Structure 1
Amino acid sequence: MTKDRIGRKRPKIVVIGGGTGLPVILNGLRSHNVDITAVVTVADDGGSSGVIRDYINVVPPGDIRNVLVALSNMPDVYKKIFQYRFNSNDQFFSGHAIGNLIIAALSEMDDRGIFDAVQELSALMKIEGHVYPASDVPLTLNAKFTDGTSLAGESHISAAGKTIKRVWVTSIDDVEPHAKEEVITAIMEADQIVLGPGSLFTSILPNLMISNVGQAVCQTNAEVVYICNIMTQKGETEHFTDADHVRILNEHLGKKFIDTVLVNTEPVPKDYLDRQKYDEYLYQVAYDFNGLRDQGCRVISDNFLELRDHGVFHNGTQVVSELMRLIGRPKSWYADELN
């Protein structure tokens, strides 16, 4: 644990993932006396991030941009500028966020790469904690489906409408992807590792499929907590229970490495979800307590639901309160409880 200005120990929490769920947890953690590190996926190939990646071959910046804003102490007006997305009809700028362009420019300057660029930008944005891209080079997500076919590219995988059997990541130069040493050190020195919330196959697993990241998560003495999704996702986790989510994670890393899983058991009101706006969500994830226990993890079930804008989200305050309650307990504590 690190220490704060008056000598109190600050728990080290590493949050791994991507998408819109990660900033929710990071915003909640900021109100607590903890040392935060966010490890962010770099396998996105859709939207503004995908276009920038195709044009100048840099790590897709969208998820990194959102995490930087979540941890930034800049005035709100600067955050708003950084997040501004062009709505003009210009063929290039339309749909791009200013922050994405700044991250891409910094990573291209002096060939410094995305990792060093994000560290420099973190200082400029007065980041509270650390933001680490999972890899310093763009990665491609690959998937094999249960029908034996394979596809490359996150957006293509999600749109295929097939059941995913397994995923893995590759780099453009066919060199085995590795995370920077700072990422591995953060995981090994952490008191708690938090996975999610986020898309199982396209936000969480792409990080864990980087070999030294997956190995570190399995070897760390930190408690590994998985925040299970509330809704199933089209093209990814159709008909999945919460136990299925944990099983897939464990199968990909070859061991039962999840210590604790947080699952929402509060029902989503019928007809509340705007299915046109949130068209990737299908049904509420079914609760399978016995299946979760079979995966060797501690189960914490509660009302983690937040309803707003006719969408279904995790209640960041409630989830973070549970994470703080769990912090610092050794892995042996979980083994004793399961026996």
Structure 2
Amino acid sequence: MRDPLTTRQPRIVVIGGGTGLPVILGNLRDQNVDITAVVTVADDGGSSGIIRHYVNVVPPGDIRNVLVSLSELPNIEKDIFQYRFDTNDDFFAGHAIGNLIIAALSEMKGGIFDAVQELSEMMKVRGHIFPASNEPLELHAQFSDGTTMTGESEITGAHKLIQRVWVEDADSDDEPEAVQPVIDAIMNADQIVLGPGSLFTSILPNLMISNVGEAVRTTSAEVVYICNIMTQKGETENFSDADHVQVLNEHLGAPFINTVLVNSKKVPDEYIDYQRWTEMSTQVTHDFNGLRRLGCRVISSDFLELRDNGAFHNGQEVVRELLNLIGQTNY
């Protein structure tokens, strides 16, 4: 039986990847909560993809950003970790220093999981960071036309309607599994947070690891889905918020989302710079009745942050609502 919340910090597990995860974690870091971040390891793009190809380690990019978001180091030290070499540097072009450090420590420690635990201590991380798998995973997709494709960037770039995704171990025929601390964190949590992030390439790759999906489906914790503000080209074009939840339920074979946070604020016409934010398509439409039919509690509010001609989640407002859900009202 769990110890009562009155005697300990509430345990929040945030699952995802991409740029949305650090926004939530950075705003949770200084709150009176016990944070665990479960981070996708199926990325194959950019510096992460190049390092994975040559060194054969779990892609480090998402993990690097999460380490920085939860680190209590001075900004200058975090900036060094995040520094990306100029494209004019032939050998290091485009690589982030943090990616190289994670790759090196993964080799030294014999796997990404122990490497991240070591780095978490070095970087004075507040909370826990768990790679979803200790092995590099490949993301696979089947499209509505019956064709299949492998690789996160290739799947997104295909601009075809995705029917389902799954993950496979990149180095063996073994079924991917998360290490036990990941499962224990999910089963002992008070709140599970999914997103915000790309539905098919940031959130579902974690849930498609069989024991992770089973744990999220059976945990007694409240499962909260932070629905995206914008649809994503090549993944969720023309999706409503209910469509996002329906896809999650279909992949796990049961309705498991308890609460959905949806943005109610309209993105101003002509505001988005689609040349810069190439993955953004249109604003996610709201289908309240559809969400209720899926058994979800719906929390609709202004979660919008407009900056740099793009539409993003306001991390402070999202975290305020997450804390309200677990009775933390002093944010």
Normalising by the smaller structure, the TM-score range is over 0.9
CA distance, structure 2, for counterparts of residue 270 and residue 54 of structure 1: 41
C-alpha distance after superposition, 1:127-165 (max 9, x if no partner): 100000000010000000000000000011001111000
Query: Mind listing any 5+ residue stretches in structure 2 that lack a counterpart?
Result: none
- CA offset at residue 328 of structure 1? 6.2
Structure-1 residue corresponding to 2:262: 263
The answer for unaligned runs of 5 or more in structure 1 is 330-339
Q: Percent identity?
A: 70
Residue identity opposite 2:161 in structure 1: T
Distance in 2 separating the partners of 1:304 and 1:8: 31
Separation in structure 2 between the aligned mates of residue 96 and residue 48 of structure 1, nearest angstrom: 5
**Secondary structure at the residue paired with 1:109?**
helix
**Aligned with 2:112 (options 111, 114, 124):** 114
CA RMSD of aligned residues (A): 1.5
CA distance in 2, matches of 1:104, 1:328: 40
Alpha-carbon displacement from aligned partner over 1:82-141 (angstroms, at most 9, x marks no partner):
00000042333110000000000000115x200000000000001100000000010000
Aligned to 1:10, what secondary structure does the other structure show?
Answer: coil
Matching residue's letter, 2:121: A
Conserved? CA contact 1:198–1:204, under 8 Å: yes
- How far apart are the structure 2 equivalents of 1:231 and 1:38? 23
Alpha carbons 1:191, 1:328 under 8 Å: kept: no
Q: What is residue 168 of structure 2 aligned with on the other side? A: 170
Q: Tell me, what secondary structure is at the counterpart of 2:13?
A: strand
Q: Quote how far apart the aligned CAs of 1:32 are.
A: 1.2
**Alignment correspondent of 1:227:** 226
Inter-partner Cα distance in structure 2 for 1:189 and 1:272: 42
Residues 1:88 and 1:147: Cα distance change in structure 2 (over 3 Å): closer
**2:215 corresponds to:** 216
Query: Quick check: 1:136 aligned with 2:162?
Result: no
Q: Distance in 2 between matches of 1:328 and 1:42?
A: 32
> Does the Cα contact within 8 Å between 1:11 and 1:328 map onto a contact in 2?
no
Within a 5 Å distance, the mapping from 1:237-252 to structure 2 comes to 237-252=236-251
The one-letter code of the counterpart of 1:59 is V
Deviating above 6 A after TM superposition, structure 1's stretches of 4 or more consecutive aligned residues are 1-4
Q: Are the counterparts in 2 of residues 139 and 171 from structure 1 also a CA contact under 8 Å?
A: yes
User: 2:173 & 2:224 partners in 1: Cα distance?
Assistant: 32
Give the aligned partner of residue 280 of structure 1.
Answer: 279
Query: Displacement of 1:294 after TM fit?
Result: 1.1
Taking structure 2 as the reference length, the TM-score comes to 0.96
In structure 1, C-alpha distance between the alignment counterparts of 2:164 and 2:69, rounded to whole Å: 31
Residue identity in the other structure for 1:256:
P
Deviations 1:270-319 (A, max 9, x none): 11111111011010000000111111110111110000111110000100
Q: Which moved more, 1:67-76 or 1:319-328?
A: 319-328
Q: Which residue of 2 aligns with 1:63?
A: 62
Q: Distance in 1 between matches of 2:113 and 2:235?
A: 29
Q: Quote the Cα distance in structure 1 between the aligned partners of 2:230 and 2:91.
A: 34
In structure 1, what is the Cα distance between the partners aligned to 2:152 and 2:78? 28
C-alpha distance in 1 between matches for 2:260 and 2:112: 32
Counterparts in 2 of 1:294 and 1:3: CA distance versus 1, 3 Å: closer
> Could you say which residue in structure 2 is the equivalent of 1:334?
none
Could you tell me which residue of structure 2 aligns to residue 301 of structure 1?
A: 300
SS at structure 2 position matched to 1:143? strand
Q: Which residue in 2 is equivalent to 1:316?
A: 315
* Secondary structure class of the residue paired with 2:318: helix
Residues of 1 paired with 2:48 and 2:315: CA distance?
A: 25
Q: Give the aligned residue type for 1:306.
A: E
CA distance in structure 1 between the aligned counterparts of 2:91 and 2:310, rounded to whole angstroms: 30
Structure 2 counterpart of 1:186: 185
Give CA-to-partner distance per residue, 1:27-50, whole Å, 9 cap, x none. 111231000000000000000000
| Aligned-partner residue type, residue 221 of structure 1 | S
Total equivalences in the alignment: 326
* Cα deviations by residue, 1:230-264 (Å, 9 ceiling, x for unpaired): 00000000110000000000000000000000000
Determine the C-alpha separation between the residues in 1 that align with 2:229 and 2:294: 19
The TM-score normalised by the length of structure 1 is 0.94
What's the offset of the Cα at 1:8? 4.5
